Amino acid sequence: MPSFDIVSKVDAQALDNAVNVTRKEITNRFDFKDAPVEIALDKKEYKLTLETSDDMKMRQLIDVLINRANKQGISPEAFDLSKDSYQSGKVVKKEVSVRNGLKQDDAKKLVKKIKDAGLKVQAQIMDDIVRVTGKKIDDLQEVIQVCRQEDFGIPLQYENMRS
């Protein structure tokens, strides 16, 4: 029986490359000259710690990071920018978590959307993936189209297509 998996994951190496390219670009920019800028990546927790001198530079730093990550194939939706930046001494700090894996409530929304589409497929949640099975590959491709049309606020990838 044909099946595929819906996942939401970020490649650690692509994220590391995006952070390194961002660091390099920031050191070469004139508006960041003599400004304390630090970008730290925690690969285990998938968290970025950004540090700069003021809020305006923080916004510019985030813009550069998102642009570089997008060029590395990481969706801008993967970054959780909901936490506010905070003052710590002379610098402004911000923690940005990178969404990796489907959370339970996101997976439930996804399964509900698939079931509401009325296609002859079964969707089941397995840890941080959603497995979709059906009798025809055409039905599975319709599920992919339905998921691409809806905005879930997270980047989705479709893997392990088996017939």
Task: Give pLDDT tens digits for 86-137.
Answer: 998 899 999 999 998 899 999 999 999 999 988 899 999 998 999 999 999 9
Q: How confident is the model at residue 58 (pLDDT cuts 50, 70, 90)?
A: very high
Contact 20, 111 (CB under 8 A): no
Per-residue pLDDT tens over the stretch 2-50 = 999 999 999 999 999 999 999 999 999 998 888 899 999 999 999 999 9
Give me the CATH topology for the region 12-98. Answer: Alpha-Beta Plaits (3.30.70)
Do 3-8+101-162 and 12-98 come out as alike in CATH topology? yes
User: Per-domain residue ranges for the chain?
Assistant: 3-8+101-162, 12-98
- CATH second-level architecture of 3-8+101-162? 2-Layer Sandwich (3.30)
Left (φ > 0), alpha (ψ -120 to 50) or beta: where does 158 sit?
Answer: beta
Contact 78, 68 (CB under 8 A): no
